[in-house]
Structure 1
Amino acid sequence: MKAHLHTDWRDIPDTARGAVAALGNFDGVHLGHAHLIQALHTARPDRKLAVVTFEPHPRELFRPQDPPFRLTLSQERFAALSALGVQHVFQIAFDREFSAMSAEDFVTRVLHEGLGLHHVACGMDFAFGHRRRGNVAFLTERTAELGIGLSVVPPLSDALGPYSSSRIRRLLQDGYPERAAEELGRPWSIRGVVQHGDKRGRLLGFPTANIALGRHLEPARGVYAVSVRMADGGVYPGVANIGRRPTINDGQESRLEVHLLGFSGDLYGQTLSVALHTLLRAERRFDGLDALKEQIARDCTQAMAYLSTHEFAPVTART
């Protein structure tokens, strides 16, 4: 069943009202988020399953000078939530006006009147409203008064503590996409539009699709074995470089460049989803283009060997 995306909480169709919704930012849509959504569905299986989330992430509004940190942008997050069985995604525009809304108005005007929610679920540390003055205690009291059910769900944890987006970001920045995949329930992906580059890869014999990292987190720089999902659903193995290409130039902008193995064709303007599976080697400078070309050939062989011996089915949540 395909989920429905709603971006205006003031204009929700009757068919989407009366749902039960999990509340949060859901950056990454990791196993902890899946645990929250499943707990809600278990509590109220008779109702349409929904999520209330925000775009952009509040941190992007309040701290625009911070380096990009997002695990999933809107489109990728929506796809991940849909895969979990969510039927309605209420994506609230988080702007200056909305950030000034009181906790009382968020519960009354948005959750109750705007979305018509029957039951909500959140984590134990959920905070909301102007200056995050709303907390679980307030939510418990106010939802009871409005006749809205509430589930406060303890976090899903392992030996290292609760699953969190911050923990997954650290794993990716440290070069461990396999471990990040275990906590996400799927490989981490960067989705973006293929842009024109300087065509150096084509001259080296390894044409690449260039995708700006944009607001995505920058993982450890280096070369990765990847799989690439096309707009039509087709998937190709590949090898990708994330970094500043020190052998070719001293550019200041990191980028994602991916070479699809076994593919030939024009990808400019297409939206690709590039899943990182393992870091093959760190970024480094080579003594000339011939040495770089030889290394890229070895990278392709190593990437294909890795991908051919690993399966990337979704990981089951560990409880």
Structure 2
Amino acid sequence: MAARIVRAWRDLPPELRGAAVAVGAFDGVHRGHQAVIGEAREAARAIDAPLAVVSFDPHPRRWFQPDAAPFRLMTADQMARALGELGVETLFLLPFDAGMAAMSHVQFAEDVLAGGLGIRHAAVGFDFTFGKGRTGSPEALRELGGGLGFTVSTTERIDDAGGLKLSSSAVREALHAGDMARAAAILGRPFAIEGEVIHGDKRGRTIGVPTANVALGDYMRPAFGVYATQTRLDDGRVIDGVASLGLRPMWRLEAPLLEVWLFDFDGDLYGRTIETELVAFLRPEMSLDGLDALKAQIEADAGAAREALANAPRG
């Protein structure tokens, strides 16, 4: 069950106060994040408190760098589902606005964590900073918590036994390189793009490969090319497929698009929300000489995708 999303911290009902919380951006909810949330979970059990996560929307980076390239690894709904799988009951997705950006670290601890949320414990990562100018640290939060009625735990840096860095930036590096295995190893699951199926130019239908098209929005752009995929429909079915992600050199798009051909599927998905895991990168984008060449290449890609998916772990 997905965590409940609450987009406020003022005037909360009693049942939403008093939690043990993990605090941070948690974009991707990767294995490093999961360790911090695990510390909050242990504290929640020890003090018999609800388990929650405190994060922000938009991501603070988007607020301070509004012209930055798209960088998000998941939507709010994806985050809520990932957190629910970790036992988190509530996701406090706090509006990061001018007021929040202007808060000192002391104000944030006093007004938001203690006053608004009434937390009993805060778990943070070793590199956690907060407050205007990023002046707050885990040590500062621990000192403040002592006077405000909550305890604080800090999770030290955790890397994979093989030396794999567990961070959101490392996920983005892997995606940019098309290394989906490395991205999945850091995340603990394949990277997935979720969105509403929109109308395209329907060219694929003319060659027998209708696609479900999803705009990338604020998602980080993985390597452009062709992927083996698994797509979860809104009715719970999971269907293998092959997808093109990018600007489509033969009929160039203004914005990158995910175009998924679902194997052995016949149905209308327009307006429905799907989530597509990019399981394996098969090849970069290429320009081909006409529809016949494109159809032959798609058939070859489909064969490669089926082979990759046959050897991929199933969740």
TM above 0.5, yes or no, is yes
Cα shift at 1:44:
3.6
Cα shift at 1:161:
5.7
Distance 1:191 1:161 in 2: 26
Distance 1:11 1:294 in 2: 60
1:34 counterpart = 2:34: yes
Match of 1:160 among 159, 163, 182: 163
Distance 2:314 2:171 in 1: 18
1:157 partner SS: coil
Contact 1:186–1:312 under 8 Å retained in 2: no
1:225 counterpart = 2:259: no
Q: Counterpart in 1 of 2:66?
A: 64
Distance 1:126 1:3 in 2: 23
Contact 1:31–1:163 under 8 Å retained in 2: yes
1:172-220 deviations in Å (ceiling 9; x for gaps): 0100111111111111100001111110111121000111001001100
| Matched residues, number | 312
Q: Counterpart in 2 of 1:285?
A: 287
Which residues of structure 1 form unaligned runs of 5+? Answer: 314-319
Compared CA separation, residues 290 and 65, structure 1 to 2 (3 A): same
Cα shift at 1:2:
4.5
Contact 2:2–2:82 under 8 Å retained in 1: no
Distance 2:30 2:188 in 1: 6
The 10-residue stretch of structure 1 (126-135 or 302-311) with the greater mean CA deviation from structure 2: 302-311
Compared CA separation, residues 72 and 2, structure 1 to 2 (3 A): closer
Q: Counterpart in 1 of 2:272?
A: 270
Which residue identity does 1:98 align to in structure 2? Answer: M
Distance 1:292 1:162 in 2: 39
Q: Counterpart in 1 of 2:23?
A: 23
Distance 1:34 1:195 in 2: 33
1:25-58 deviations in Å (ceiling 9; x for gaps): 0000000011111122223413211100000101
1:118-158 deviations in Å (ceiling 9; x for gaps): 00010121111112122222211110111211101102113
The 10-residue stretch of structure 1 (124-133 or 180-189) with the greater mean CA deviation from structure 2: 124-133
Cα shift at 1:22:
0.4
1:208 counterpart = 2:218: no
Contact 2:19–2:121 under 8 Å retained in 1: yes
Aligned 1:162-311 pairs, distance under 5 A? 162-247=165-250, 249-311=251-313
2:221 partner SS: coil
Which residues of structure 2 form unaligned runs of 5+? Answer: none
The 10-residue stretch of structure 1 (74-83 or 20-29) with the greater mean CA deviation from structure 2: 74-83
Q: Counterpart in 2 of 1:95?
A: 97
Which residue identity does 1:41 align to in structure 2? Answer: R
1:277 partner SS: strand
1:311 partner SS: coil
Which residue identity does 2:39 align to in structure 1? Answer: A
The 10-residue stretch of structure 1 (35-44 or 166-175) with the greater mean CA deviation from structure 2: 35-44
Q: Counterpart in 2 of 1:149?
A: 151
Contact 1:6–1:12 under 8 Å retained in 2: no
Distance 2:59 2:224 in 1: 24
Distance 2:92 2:43 in 1: 20
Distance 1:130 1:136 in 2: 15
The 10-residue stretch of structure 1 (136-145 or 50-59) with the greater mean CA deviation from structure 2: 136-145
Distance 1:146 1:206 in 2: 60
Compared CA separation, residues 87 and 230, structure 1 to 2 (3 A): same
Distance 1:300 1:13 in 2: 52
Distance 1:186 1:161 in 2: 15
Contact 2:101–2:132 under 8 Å retained in 1: yes
Which residue identity does 1:75 align to in structure 2? Answer: D
- Which 4+ runs in 1 deviate beyond 3 A? 159-162
Distance 2:153 2:90 in 1: 18
Identical residues among aligned pairs (%):
46
Distance 2:165 2:288 in 1: 41
Q: Counterpart in 2 of 1:317?
A: none
1:196 partner SS: coil
Contact 1:187–1:312 under 8 Å retained in 2: no
1:259-281 deviations in Å (ceiling 9; x for gaps): 11111111100001010100111
Distance 1:137 1:151 in 2: 10
Distance 1:42 1:14 in 2: 22
Distance 1:290 1:265 in 2: 25
